[in-house]
Amino acid sequence: MMNSTQVSVFTLAAYFDAGLLKYVYFLIVMCLYVFIIAANVLLILVICVNRSLHEPMYMFLCSLFVNGLYGSTGLFPSLLLQILSDIHTVSAAFCFTQIFLVYSYGSIEFLNLAIMSYDRYLAICSPLHYHERMTHRRVLVLLAVIWLPPILVNFFTLPLIVPLQLCGNIIHKVYCDNHSIVKLACSDTTLNNIYGLAVSALSVFGPLSLILFTYMRILQVCFSGSRQTRQKAVSTCTPHLASLLNFSFGACFEILQSRFNMSDVPNVLRIFLSLYFLTCPPLFNPVMYGLNLSKIRATCKTFISNAAY
């Protein structure tokens, strides 16, 4: 066993020697990153510029797209550099920063989706009182709830992992994560484990409870309501459910991979699935909402046409 020490550099051991194929991988990842930036920035601009889209649902969508950019920034620049590099190391300071960005992104995404389900619940179940309940002030409060608690909670993770005495510096992933560093520790990690479990439970079960409650109420209204109500529910909830399932799949695999031995899964597949919740939601969300919501689709066409001229 290595002596415990303060590690200054971590090795990301999941990368492999791809030879000349690394340039192909680099181009694929670069194209994905450019598309994510372009799609999310376009929809953010469309929502911000068009006053007819300054409604609660679109404000929460805008928050979702901003978080997509936030999470992508925590992954893609480093990923692109590591693909081209022959030495897959990162500094401890960068590693801890990436942990904060990745974990806060995941917490914000799930909470954002939960608040969006609450917004759809009010719109479908209480349409006559929707604007009385979802006021401009309440929207601002809910946006603050989406962003501030996850950032604060994940920020306080850093003082728990930075002082840890480590017996190694090899992380078997393509990016840094909290659980991998805790597993390297030689010092006592009881507080880290308790805090991690508490944060995980709060980040998952709180939003999940709200989502389950709102969709149970929406289903009740759909079964007892008119055909028009059912059509409205399907048209507004389908993109949200697709985004929720897309993010949940990636997050569940990431949790399973962190907590259990996944050595039987092929390395390439394991890398792809570990990146899923950081790449597919920012890629998928703007496409899903851009294609499904007619107001956004029409405004995008007008925005692009005006920009072309």
Strands (E), the chain: 9-12, 89-91, 170-171
The pair of structure tokens assigned to 193 is: 């484990």
Identify whether the C-beta of residue 88 lies closer than 8 Å to the C-beta of residue 11.
yes
Residue 125 has a pLDDT of: 86
The series of mean pLDDT values per 10 residues for the chain, 309 residues long, is 65 85 92 95 90 89 96 93 90 93 94 94 88 92 95 90 88 88 87 86 88 90 76 80 90 78 73 87 89 74 66
CA separation for the pair 134, 128 (Å, rounded): 11
The pair of structure tokens assigned to 182 is: 């805790």
Residue 79 has a pLDDT of: 93
Angle, alpha carbons 69-105-134 (nearest 5°)? 85
Identify whether the C-beta of residue 66 lies closer than 8 Å to the C-beta of residue 44.
yes
Domain 9-308 fold is Rhopdopsin 7-helix transmembrane proteins (1.20.1070)
CA separation for the pair 173, 151 (Å, rounded): 23
Residue 3 has a pLDDT of: 47
Residue 1 has a pLDDT of: 38
Residue 56 has a pLDDT of: 92
Residue 262 has a pLDDT of: 67
List, as one string, the DSSP characters of 96-160. HHHHHHHHHHHHHHHHHHHHHHHHHHHHHH-GGGHHHHS-HHHHHHHHHHHHHHHHHHHHTTHHH
Residue 261 has a pLDDT of: 67
Residue 87's contacts (CB-CB under 8 Å, 6 or more residues apart) are none
Residue 2 has a pLDDT of: 43
